[in-house]
Amino acid sequence: MTPRGPRGQRGSAVSFTGAVRTYGAVRAVDGVDLEIGYGETVALLGRNGAGKSTAIGLLLGLYEPDAGAVELFGAAPGQSVRAGRVGAMLQDARPVPRVTVGELVGFVASRYPAPMPLARALELAGIADLAGRRVDRLSGGQVQRVRFALALTGDPALLVLDEPTAALDVEARQAFWESMRTYARRGHTVLFSTHYLQEADAYADRIVVIDRGRIVADGTAEELRRAAGGNLVGVDRAGRDADDFAPLPGVRSVEVRGDRIRLRTDDSDATVVALAELGAIRGLEVTPASLDDAFLALTSPSLEAV
């Protein structure tokens, strides 16, 4: 089904087509193809240096692709940003000295053609009680919430959040995601990057994993877990070579952890039956693969059995 945007508009909110961005010999973004539909909440995951920040920079028009194309709402990123259709919360923003929270958010709101009411932006960001405080006298977590208010204040159709809950405590993170959900339920598109995989699991409709500048997985959290091997089977090594386990039914990878063998398997039942036939079920443990397991499997070099 073709996604529909505001007032029935067709197309994608975000479109990368063969996008490439290089720094010398490094291809930070290497031929990325990605479509994000209107109203989706998408998490972008990747290790440090995987290409997440460069991809976000291309999306916001901060960089131009060396090859391929990036579009927002069918237009160049810069055009959509200038039209007030995009709000961004970036990691490297710094507090502005000698202004209050209300003054700063109000000033930024005045730059947009159809801003969100100031009180609403402050309320959604959970900082209504900080409106009269100077920004340069806030804690790190409070400054992070001010950044969120600044991203919201233009009432953008697309909200881009780069590590939005960094510096927030557990209670503040929960409040942030509740605000984000409220905003997304109004039909807005949200793209966020995070190192907290549980946040991607809990709040994203879809997860995109980038590694070495390329998209290596794209789907729901459950689809990613299945793609990386649905279950983990652990047994005591009991003197056996790791190579003895690789040919077993369903096994996708073998990892040695001290005196334990951990098998990533697509069919744990078949794997356990085969282990029983080998007499190798001492200390048997079967657990579902977590999103952390899937992420490591998707972004780590193949482990050698040693």
How far apart CA 261 and CA 254 sit, in angstroms, is: 7
**Cβ count near 248 (within 10 Å):** 21
The average pLDDT across 82-93 equals: 88
Location of each CATH 3.30.70.1510 domain in the chain: 229-288
The average pLDDT across 176-193 equals: 92
CATH number belonging to domain 229-288:
3.30.70.1510
The answer to whether residue 94 scores a pLDDT higher than 90 is no
Task: Give 234-292 pLDDT, tens digit per residue.
Answer: 999 998 999 999 999 999 889 999 999 999 888 999 999 999 999 999 999 999 888 88
CATH number belonging to domain 6-223:
3.40.50.300
The answer to whether residue 6 scores a pLDDT higher than 80 is no
Task: Look up residue 5 and give its two tokens.
Answer: 């945007």
- In this prediction, residue 150 has a pLDDT band, given cuts at 50, 70 and 90, of very high
What integer pLDDT is reported at residue 296 of this predicted model?
A: 84
Location of each CATH 3.40.50.300 domain in the chain: 6-223
What integer pLDDT is reported at residue 1 of this predicted model?
A: 36
- In this prediction, residue 229 has a pLDDT band, given cuts at 50, 70 and 90, of low
Task: Give 10-42 pLDDT, tens digit per residue.
Answer: 579 999 999 999 999 999 999 999 999 999 999
Q: Mean pLDDT score of the chain, rounded to an integer?
A: 90
The average pLDDT across 160-180 equals: 90
What integer pLDDT is reported at residue 303 of this predicted model?
A: 39
What integer pLDDT is reported at residue 37 of this predicted model?
A: 95
Task: Give 111-140 pLDDT, tens digit per residue.
Answer: 999 999 999 999 999 999 999 999 999 998
62-71, 155-164, 174-183, 288-297: range with lowest mean pLDDT: 288-297
Q: Can you tell me which residue has the tokens 């109203």? A: 39
The pTM of the full predicted model, rounded to 2 decimals, is 0.82
What integer pLDDT is reported at residue 214 of this predicted model?
A: 97
What integer pLDDT is reported at residue 305 of this predicted model?
A: 33
What integer pLDDT is reported at residue 8 of this predicted model?
A: 42
What integer pLDDT is reported at residue 195 of this predicted model?
A: 86
